[in-house]
């Protein structure tokens, strides 16, 4: 088997009134920077992939365990780039577990799939009954800024959100390059994304829908699945998507997590 194999296991716990990275195991080219505390008690941490891109045959595993009452925000310093494959599939598996009374904010920057990429990406978020979560996942097919469409390649994108081991959302999407222009596919758009916040309610849903009415020329909608607020974006700009999602986070964070929005400093660089 060719390619890198890497695994990153992170555990967070409350110590002396703040959340700390209580355990870390890493193998291969996955790492984290030192934790930041711009809010005093919330642990802001950046996940790093030093090679700068993922190629066919790579296997990456990220496991996050947020312990009771802990508060963690995870992001990445840049987009994850999946390059053209010479035959093998690149695999990335992410498992996020959030314990009682804990909160996880999961904000990786966009995944960029170069023409010819073959990727299987799996994300599973498991919440306990009183856990809180806000996060997003953004996918960019091809390099629209360079007029390079995703004209070859194959993607399998799996996403699951569960609470107390009971699924709230299960999505499996097979993306084939020759189907992106289909009316039942991506309608010739290059960016697809999902935003989630839980626990949420109908009043939060109505507020979000009001905010989204100002965004023209983009396919975007919000819905409520039990206590999970779900927003979907389909368009052509990761920058536009990120701005919309960041705005939603700024409005929803005080309602869901009882905290004002505090952007990671890496987003300003």
pLDDT tens profile 63-104: 999 999 999 999 999 999 999 998 899 999 999 999 999 999
Closest CA to 61 of 32, 27, 89: 27
Phi–psi pair at 256, nearest 5 degrees? -85, -45
DSSP three-state, residue 148: strand
Is 52's pLDDT higher than 60? yes
Residue 125: both structure tokens together: 């978020």
Q: How confident is the model at residue 188 (pLDDT cuts 50, 70, 90)?
A: confident
Average pLDDT for residues 219-242, to the nearest whole number?
Answer: 94
Count the neighbouring beta carbons within 10 Å of the beta carbon of residue 47: 19
234-258 exposure pattern, b = at least 16 Cβ within 10 A, e = fewer: bbebbebbbebbebbbebbbebbbe
Say if residues 180 and 141 touch (Cβ distance below 8 Å). yes
Average pLDDT for residues 203-210, to the nearest whole number?
Answer: 96
Q: Is 29 exposed, middle or buried (0-12, 13-18, 19+ CB in 10 A)?
A: middle
Average pLDDT for residues 118-135, to the nearest whole number?
Answer: 98
* Alpha-carbon gap, residue 161 to 199, rounded angstroms: 12
Strand partners, 48: 31
Which pLDDT value is given to residue 38? 96
Q: What is the pTM of this model?
A: 0.95
* Alpha-carbon gap, residue 236 to 233, rounded angstroms: 10
Residue 15: both structure tokens together: 């110590």
Task: Give the residue carrying structure tokens 């005080």.
Answer: 254
Q: Supply the DSSP symbol for 188.
A: T
Which pLDDT value is given to residue 92? 97
Is 164's pLDDT higher than 80? yes
Is 1's pLDDT higher than 60? no
Is 37's pLDDT higher than 80? yes
Q: Between vectors from CA 233 to CA 228 and to CA 267, what angle results, nearest 5°?
A: 90
* Alpha-carbon gap, residue 42 to 189, rounded angstroms: 36
Is 108's pLDDT higher than 80? yes
Which pLDDT value is given to residue 111? 96
């Amino acid at each position: 088997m060719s390619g890198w194999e890497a695994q990153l296991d992170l555990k967070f716990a409350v110590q002396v009134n703040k959340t700390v990275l209580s355990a870390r195991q890493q193998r291969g080219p996955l790492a984290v920077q030192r934790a930041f505390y711009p809010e005093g008690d919330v642990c802001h941490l950046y996940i790093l992939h030093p090679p700068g891109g993922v190629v066919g045959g790579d296997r990456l595993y990220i496991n996050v365990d947020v312990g009771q009452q802990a508060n963690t925000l995870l992001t990445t310093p840049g987009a994850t780039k999946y390059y053209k494959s010479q035959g093998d599939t690149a695999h990335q598996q992410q498992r996020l577990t959030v314990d009682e009374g804990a909160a996880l904010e999961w904000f990786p920057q966009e995944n960029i799939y170069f023409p010819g990429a073959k990727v299987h990406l799996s994300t599973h978020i498991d919440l306990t009954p009183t856990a809180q979560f806000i996060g997003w996942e953004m996918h960019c097919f091809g390099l629209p800024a360079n007029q390079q469409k995703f004209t070859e390649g194959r993607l399998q994108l799996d996403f699951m959100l569960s609470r107390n081991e009971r699924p709230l959302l299960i999505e499996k999407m097979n993306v084939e390059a020759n189907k992106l222009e289909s009316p039942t596919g991506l309608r010739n758009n290059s960016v697809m994304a999902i935003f989630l916040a839980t626990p949420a309610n109908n009043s939060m849903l109505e507020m979000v829908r009001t905010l989204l009415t100002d965004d023209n020329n983009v396919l975007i909608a919000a819905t409520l699945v039990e206590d999970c607020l779900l927003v979907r974006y389909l368009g052509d700009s990761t920058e536009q998507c990120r701005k919309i999602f960041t705005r939603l986070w700024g409005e929803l964070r005080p309602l869901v997590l009882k905290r004002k929005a505090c952007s990671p400093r890496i987003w300003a660089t």
